Structure 1
Amino acid sequence: MHISEGVLNTPTVVVTTIAAVGLIAYSAKGVKSEEIPKIALMTGVFFTGSLIHIPIGPASIHLLLSGIIGMILGRRTPISISLALILQLFLFQFGGLTSFGANVLNTSLPAMLMFWLVRPLISEKKSSQFICGVLAGSIAVVGTVLGVGISLVESNTQFGIGVFSTIHMLIYGHIPLMIIEGIFTGFVVQFIVSVRPQILAVLQTDKGEVKPLTINNNI
């Protein structure tokens, strides 16, 4: 989700911008040419998923798809998400320059965690693949909502006051999104494993069985 321009106070803008620049630099370090098509594809996925959004005060609700992006890209996730956010900012005025750092952090960090925490759990069982997808999709949304909430409250405590405050409305509005993204990501993970299992470090054996591989977290 996007935090709008002019919402965050100066200290929050400075801290999140510096942190985001550092995260993007870490993400871009050592990128190989063969990784670029995958990064570009995931950039398109995030860009498209975020086009339909519902404004809620200083932020908005829309599809993230960050769970599957994080599981596929790992440490390269911030590159993809930052590029998509830049395109959305200049083409559609989603988000803002001062909130760019916060938007990158709030979306990228939960997605990256799915690569290290959930992706290694994928096994040859269809149920395992679906459950891992559900966890990645839903937890990534929860992580982003928490990040946005912290960013807003740090800038203005008024965003968190009252039953119908901005923070509470964001939480209420993202409960169905968490469920939808979880189920959708579950089916996507199953589809990827059945069609191109190597994308998630799962390969077909000679007997047609799927076998999970040790995941290289540096990729």
Structure 2
Amino acid sequence: MPHIHLGEGSFPLWALVLWTLLGAGLISTVVYRIRKGGIKTHQIALAGIGAAASFAVFQLNIPVWGGIHMNLTGLVGIIAGPLLGALVALVVNIFSAALGHGAVGLIGANTLINASEAFVAYYAFKTLMGMEWDVFPASASAATLGLSAGSFLMGAIIVISGVNGSALPRGDLLIAVGGLSALNLGVAVVEGLLTGLIVQFLASVRPDLVGLTDRDTRDEPSGVTA
């Protein structure tokens, strides 16, 4: 799914500084929110599991149009929350860059992209569940929406930044990036369905892990009759 696979030096210096500062600002805000509001123990465990799974599937790269893959950031956002989801995105991108999967200078940009997926997926899932959707369609749709948002953000970052050494004018670059984003949208549907199956399974065995305890309790009969 969305991830800028360009090598070191592909972006101009001003773009590297801009995306790095924005990424650092996002992570700083996330850390502040976590320190202020606290975090539940089970969320930390889920985030750790999600980070391991995300990193593992992240490395399975299909060399098509610059490289496509799944990353499970939508799933991480749904089960661990958007704040921990952003931190997982940072960690996965750091370790991936260390293995040559993405440039070190693009960690800020890629963290923005992947964190946006976790944020959108989480809030979309909560919104759809609040509308009484079933777990599978809600989680599958939420993950697809999150990954789609990340795909559009990736395209915007590339087009805004430009690519050093590219002979393509900005209009042709926009077309090329649009094709890559469209390809990623197709992968988003597949990853969304996979996310839906995983979340549905978790909801069937441990609904509290996906924040469904309150809804289940609300649906139970109270035992009081008129």
Task: Indicate the TM-score class for this superposition, using the shorter chain for normalisation.
Answer: 0.7 to 0.9
Q: How many residues align?
A: 206
Q: Distance in 1 between matches of 2:40 and 2:67?
A: 34
Q: Per residue, is there more helix in 1 or in 2?
A: 2
Where does residue 184 of structure 1 map in the other structure? 194
Where does residue 156 of structure 2 map in the other structure? 150
Q: Per residue, is there more strand in 1 or in 2?
A: 1
- Cα deviation per residue 1:15-50 (whole Å; 9 max; x = unaligned)? 111111121122223154724322211111210121
Where does residue 89 of structure 2 map in the other structure? 81
Where does residue 109 of structure 1 map in the other structure? 116
- Cα deviation per residue 1:185-219 (whole Å; 9 max; x = unaligned)? 111121111011111111289xxxx3479xxxxxx
Where does residue 79 of structure 2 map in the other structure? 72
Query: 1:157-176 maps to which residues of 2 (within 5 A)?
Result: 158=168, 161-162=171-172, 165-176=175-186
Where does residue 16 of structure 1 map in the other structure? 19
Where does residue 223 of structure 2 map in the other structure? none
Q: Distance in 2 between matches of 1:159 and 1:70?
A: 36
Instruction: State whether structure 2 residue 96 is matched by structure 1 residue 93.
Output: no
Where does residue 51 of structure 2 map in the other structure? 43
AA aligned to 2:152 is L
Contact kept? 2:3, 2:113, Cα under 8 Å: no
TM-score calculated relative to the size of structure 2: 0.79
Where does residue 204 of structure 2 map in the other structure? 194
Candidates 120, 125, 137, aligned match of 1:118:
125
**RMSD, aligned α-carbons:** 2.7
Where does residue 10 of structure 2 map in the other structure? 7
Note the C-alpha offset of 1:164.
9.7
Note the C-alpha offset of 1:102.
0.5
Q: How high is the sequence identity, in percent, across the aligned residues?
A: 21
Q: Distance in 1 between matches of 2:53 and 2:23?
A: 21
Query: 1:50-65 maps to which residues of 2 (within 5 A)?
Result: 50-56=58-64, 59-65=66-72
